[in-house]
Structure 1
């Protein structure tokens, strides 16, 4: 694993460490433990600036699923470097700020920091991933972790509402983006962004090019809160203020901006990209700026201002995409300046908006309110906070000498050039673009002044405040002071960023236009009396007038009618979906298990049976089958007879016995066909399944059989016969006509050579198809936790019915002595055999799955003999934790291969001369198998304990 890969994984590792040690470090605020993580990451990425500036991007490949073209490829260039510095740098300040903001005695701060670290790692993965599938995985991880952070105060209805809204909208966009990525793969044959760009000429004329573009933009627009998908961001402000300062101003909402910038070399040459990105950005810019001045909550005001600023950056990226059409001409320089302004404002916005969110958090923390109508007069009581607020707000308003002034002037330059574009044939109405930009900037000035002067000047309203206001602790002031200082430094000395960060980023966004050394970014504070400066003066004049009229004109401060808002449309749509879903569900969820089975089998017969009939070249040839021996015929009869009798039995106990008989006859077939691994697995599964059936039936009321109409019996017969016939035909078709050579020969030849195991079945499970096994075990773990939760919340009248007073399952008392006496010997024999199966499984019949089931069988016998409470005293183990430990071991075994530069879940083996044992084979697959073993025992016993006793 390379250093850059480790940098991405560092926050995840830190989150795991916090989860393991937080209980023994309760005296220390968890924030102090994790603060070194973002700080060290920031220092590491700072150290890479000279290499990136010299035109040497970092490229590292870690094979994941090479056969599918999915590798964990990290690529650090100028564009991703800016984002990594924002993620780690502002992340460091946010963690420091949160240490003083979050009370460790009143809140589960360890959980807060785990979520924050997960988000930090996910964002680093997004901006450093060159593989689109890996990028998508991290992209959705940001949605999940942000959902957890927004809902951190889950006792609040608005927090849960905001978290759900943000996840639904961003995940919708993420799924659309995934479809776009798949279309790009179909066109280019690769998931690598760099390879797609290098083969761009092969996809630009493809029929799927525009659909892929639109789908990718849906993902970018939803994540970056562009109109009309912006509605999730204001509700996300219910999160703790450190979350807002980090996710919703500097990082998460910039992910969509990053995606547009990263894929600009792919799509920017098409006119539709220009129109969609530019128009969406401009509409978002002016709409959100108007909405911002109507807010009375400081965080809501900042939320809409963030949406507006994101629209500004998005519009600049759209205008900058026009440079692709003027390659080699003087206009190239004009339109790449729009992209330069986007990159510069991206950094500026993160700086001043992060500071402003922290300021609002301080005001809320020290006064108990964010309501502008209750605030005022805080300037003398909170002078440092007021100073930071002035710097941040004036920078956001685009006033000199702060950094926001420079990027706003560059924005005006870009829109003025856009007004005279001839290529797009907009010379007749292109003037609307700078007009929209200027109007939006006026409203930006207004809400910036509202933020500062309505909060800090005027009369102090102590009677309306929950706390007596005073200056914040020094720990809360340091982060916003640092950001405010940067706003001044980068305003006065902008070229500190020009050559080190902006130029390399521009080379990443426009690689086909910019040659090394051929484009120099030079940002000047004063350009003379230009149209841009006159636009700024007009903004100050008109904005000041509107600020003083704000409280007098209802049109400026009256909120939109609820029924006309997009939020109302979202709520109505969600209610309609839920109502429609309930209606549809009620139509088929009748509460009858027979109906559910009926739906499944009818669908099964219709789809698969129809496919068999309609598909050509399917043969059902049995001429080459081996003749049936007398033993096999006897086994078939032994299997068929109980299956036929089963529907006619009158008691549940007899049904269980017959079901077990069918399962054990299947075991006999595996023995006859020389499949000992499958025979062992089936036998133990059948034993444990019978035990589970008994436990479930123990809770059910007495069986009452009702008379069934003859027509219904005939329907049941036809459906069951049809399902059986379809399965038989599928088996015959699969055996009769093979389109490809069987892969079994590969496993026979390579199982020992490549995996060091002679037991082919076990080698397939833990090596060749280890990824499938790991996912299957995870599914089992989720199912076990689901069953546990289902029964845990059941108060006695739940889905399992009313429980009896006796919670433990025992055999009749007359048999207790015999059973306990026998079990004392048998249990140790079974446990020893299970351990043998586990240890021998790589070369002999057995393995972690079979060994785990055998251990479970021993524990089941122990529970039957001594009762489950006694078993718990004898074996004081949390089987839920055992499941988690098993899954973690399996996962870490797979990740461990990265340390040696091998794909995920690659295994190694060798022979070692050990004391007493002599030459012994050691294989890393055994560790993976150990994880499977523990997970199987934990899953099965969790289910049995949950069903067999009250929790």
Structure 2
């Protein structure tokens, strides 16, 4: 029996998935915007997760365990601790604001039922990812996020850019997910379990195992592709073709943070080693610096935010790679802050696009004169992102600087010559962050008179569009001024769930006049100088080579892959059944035969075989002669009759083996199929068998037939002598009458013990029959019309 907390957590995770199919129906029959009903789901879930804070602050957790496929260690097990709660609150809280924002953003003629269905599907997938305690369950939800985000990014499917962006995100993240799955399988081989808490308990065993490095690389590939770390970042800018509410939800607060969650969740099991630091922190700091540098080059507001997101995620990954208590606290604090300021900035960009008709910063200036509330959202969000006090972004950025400085002298840095690059790249990346933040705020809303060359005359947005963004930027101010509100309530349980040790949280603005503060002052000073001379600074992009880049690699690789697959398909799909059978059977012979020989599984011991009677030999000879005659037959009728001889001879063999039921079934099937063959062949062309077959093709036919026949013979004989388990036939013989009330245990097996299988076969045959009937009716109808 599940307790109240367990039932509540299960319902909370599955609620969006259960509600999603109702959305198209509600959209069709409700007289008001369906978004108001949809918003109730994430809001209710946010209230539920927020209500669990007191429990988690006391050090307790909520667990759900239900056996699913126990043989393989796959269970429906959920685990709610500080880390999963933070992500669940972000998913549901920002999800509520995004749904409310989309009510005013999307036009009524849009397919709203589809949109909110995809949103609910994605929300359920993300909740499943962050609460899963079983790696296979997590993987299932993980791939559901890729699928649902594919639908959301390609929502405007009539645009080629949307289809391209959706496909790109799908291919990259799914490929990473498959690598991650391989890492999970290796973890199972090492630990014997897929349960995350049990895996964490065996952390030392994993780190000492020879599979540790392959596990680490494979799992991180999944995290890096999902969180858009270089060189897998290229999908995120193209994903900006999605509607702005989708960008605000997927690409600032949720989907891209799934990779962050995976790294944080696996830190106790895989973190704290030299390999972890070198891979995770190196990839993170390079992504942070390069993402912010490339953001300045962009002209589209959403593209700037896309590269900004890549950079900010790189910063969080860097901190998680360091794995110290200060670094983990800074990572989780900045994750929370990033969701607030980046979500508000995406909503601001949507407002600007909605009310001016463009996102091109070269056409936007002076908007603060007519869009003052939007300017407030942009100002607070951009300054928080730039790390300017008193906003929350300043606090987590200071913590980042402090940790990066400590890295140079810390023993966990391992490679001291490289460690000096962390504070340098952190400083340079932050300078670039300040520049593009000023591009967004000052360049669009001030920087001269009101723009006059936009498709729409600029004007302030309605309150419904403004409210979600204003709410999020208010959090930037509140958390910045009163960080203690989230310190011991949210961040303490989060960091303790990652570090598995008690934490003392003390976040404040003034740390004295130290190196991190000097770095912050330098960021503002250099940032202002470079922003003032931005045209000259941007000339550096003209000097740097633009090719080759990862987009070129992706496009070229995809084109070559499609070209190669087309060539292979044309070689395989020749239109001849003979070729298909030759490939399938030949591959089977090669694969199964080589494995059987390699594993020394073949055993030709004849001691335990029953004696062969003369009648059985005679029937076998008849079958062989009829088979050879079928191949050598020159006419259609003789070939069909010889096949019939084989079928009836097999029925006679069943009689000799004292299996009357099988014999009767074989006789009925053989008679029906023989009649059908004759009926069908009557309508086929007369010269069907006069086609010429090359000698080489005949040799291939003979080789495949001989190989397949030999393989099945030796496998059958070997299987009789390689019995790893006791035969189940004894159980059926002993229990058929007692459990099913039938003395004919063959019938009992088919009808009772394997009743569901038999029912499934009947259903398949019924569907096939209906399909044939429908095609016949359709052809008859077309014949009458013509």
Length-normalised TM-score, structure 2: 0.89
Alignment correspondent of 1:723: 708
- 1: distance between equivalents of 2:228 and 2:647? 55
Q: What's the CA shift for 1:939?
A: 5.3
Change (3 A) 1:150 1:706: same
Change (3 A) 1:647 1:362: farther
Answer whether contact 1:551 1:557 (CA < 8 A) is retained: no
Alignment correspondent of 1:12: 17
Answer whether contact 1:62 1:72 (CA < 8 A) is retained: yes
Alignment correspondent of 2:752: 842
- Report the 3-state secondary structure (helix = DSSP H, G, I; strand = E; otherwise coil) of the residue aligned with 2:107: coil
The answer as to 2:758 corresponding to 1:937 is no
- 2: distance between equivalents of 1:379 and 1:698? 80
Change (3 A) 1:689 1:255: farther
The answer as to 2:337 corresponding to 1:348 is yes
Alignment correspondent of 1:907: none
Answer whether contact 2:602 2:714 (CA < 8 A) is retained: no
- Report the 3-state secondary structure (helix = DSSP H, G, I; strand = E; otherwise coil) of the residue aligned with 2:46: helix
The answer as to 2:350 corresponding to 1:440 is no
Alignment correspondent of 1:94: 98
The answer as to 2:353 corresponding to 1:364 is yes
Answer whether contact 1:685 1:853 (CA < 8 A) is retained: no
Aligned length: 774
Q: What's the CA shift for 1:579?
A: 2.5
Alignment correspondent of 1:103: 107
Q: CA RMSD in A?
A: 3.6
Q: What's the CA shift for 1:69?
A: 1.1
Counting only pairs closer than 5 Å after superposition, residues 802-813 of structure 1 correspond to structure 2 as: none
Q: What's the CA shift for 1:267?
A: 1.8
Change (3 A) 1:594 1:147: same
Answer whether contact 2:42 2:93 (CA < 8 A) is retained: yes
Q: What's the CA shift for 1:694?
A: 8.2
- 2: distance between equivalents of 1:415 and 1:703? 78
Answer whether contact 2:78 2:133 (CA < 8 A) is retained: yes
- 1: distance between equivalents of 2:93 and 2:533? 40
- 1: distance between equivalents of 2:671 and 2:758? 12
Answer whether contact 1:402 1:491 (CA < 8 A) is retained: yes
Counting only pairs closer than 5 Å after superposition, residues 390-401 of structure 1 correspond to structure 2 as: 390-401=379-390
Deviations 1:129-166 (A, max 9, x none): 11111111111111111112111111111111111111
Q: Which moved more, 1:684-693 or 1:250-259?
A: 684-693
- 2: distance between equivalents of 1:176 and 1:55? 34
- 2: distance between equivalents of 1:98 and 1:284? 31
What is the aligned counterpart of 2:398 among 401, 406, 409?
Answer: 409
- 1: distance between equivalents of 2:615 and 2:138? 56
Deviations 1:808-839 (A, max 9, x none): xxxxxxxxxxxxxxxxxxxxxxxxxxxxxxxx
Alignment correspondent of 2:67: 63
- 1: distance between equivalents of 2:80 and 2:227? 22
Alignment correspondent of 1:81: 85
Counting only pairs closer than 5 Å after superposition, residues 557-576 of structure 1 correspond to structure 2 as: 558=542, 561-576=545-560
- 2: distance between equivalents of 1:209 and 1:190? 16
- 2: distance between equivalents of 1:10 and 1:762? 43
Q: What's the CA shift for 1:88?
A: 0.9
Alignment correspondent of 2:176: 173
Q: What's the CA shift for 1:235?
A: 0.7
Answer whether contact 2:377 2:469 (CA < 8 A) is retained: yes
The answer as to 2:554 corresponding to 1:550 is no
- 2: distance between equivalents of 1:678 and 1:72? 46
What is the aligned counterpart of 2:56 among 39, 52, 59?
Answer: 52
Q: What's the CA shift for 1:409?
A: 1.1
Change (3 A) 1:949 1:230: same
The answer as to 2:726 corresponding to 1:741 is yes
- 2: distance between equivalents of 1:486 and 1:72? 35
Answer whether contact 1:680 1:850 (CA < 8 A) is retained: no
Answer whether contact 2:602 2:715 (CA < 8 A) is retained: no
- Which sections of structure 1, spanning at least 5 residues, go unmatched? 322-334, 766-840, 855-932
Answer whether contact 2:386 2:393 (CA < 8 A) is retained: yes
Q: What's the CA shift for 1:712?
A: 4.7
Deviations 1:711-752 (A, max 9, x none): 654553343233222212211211233233224445666789
- 2: distance between equivalents of 1:451 and 1:121? 33
- Report the 3-state secondary structure (helix = DSSP H, G, I; strand = E; otherwise coil) of the residue aligned with 1:11: helix
Counting only pairs closer than 5 Å after superposition, residues 489-528 of structure 1 correspond to structure 2 as: 489-511=478-500, 514-515=501-502, 519-528=503-512
- 2: distance between equivalents of 1:54 and 1:445? 39
Q: What's the CA shift for 1:466?
A: 2.3
Q: What's the CA shift for 1:607?
A: 3.6
Alignment correspondent of 1:227: 230
Considering fraction of residues, name the structure with more helix: 2
Counting only pairs closer than 5 Å after superposition, residues 212-251 of structure 1 correspond to structure 2 as: 212-251=215-254
- 2: distance between equivalents of 1:564 and 1:384? 42
What is the aligned counterpart of 1:706 among 682, 686, 691?
Answer: 691
Counting only pairs closer than 5 Å after superposition, residues 92-131 of structure 1 correspond to structure 2 as: 92-105=96-109, 107-131=110-134
- 2: distance between equivalents of 1:433 and 1:42? 37
Change (3 A) 1:689 1:539: farther
Alignment correspondent of 2:209: 206
Answer whether contact 2:601 2:718 (CA < 8 A) is retained: no
Q: What's the CA shift for 1:759?
A: 9.4
Q: Which moved more, 1:124-133 or 1:736-745?
A: 736-745
- Report the 3-state secondary structure (helix = DSSP H, G, I; strand = E; otherwise coil) of the residue aligned with 1:63: strand
- 2: distance between equivalents of 1:455 and 1:98? 23
Alignment correspondent of 2:321: 318
The answer as to 2:160 corresponding to 1:160 is no
The answer as to 2:196 corresponding to 1:188 is no
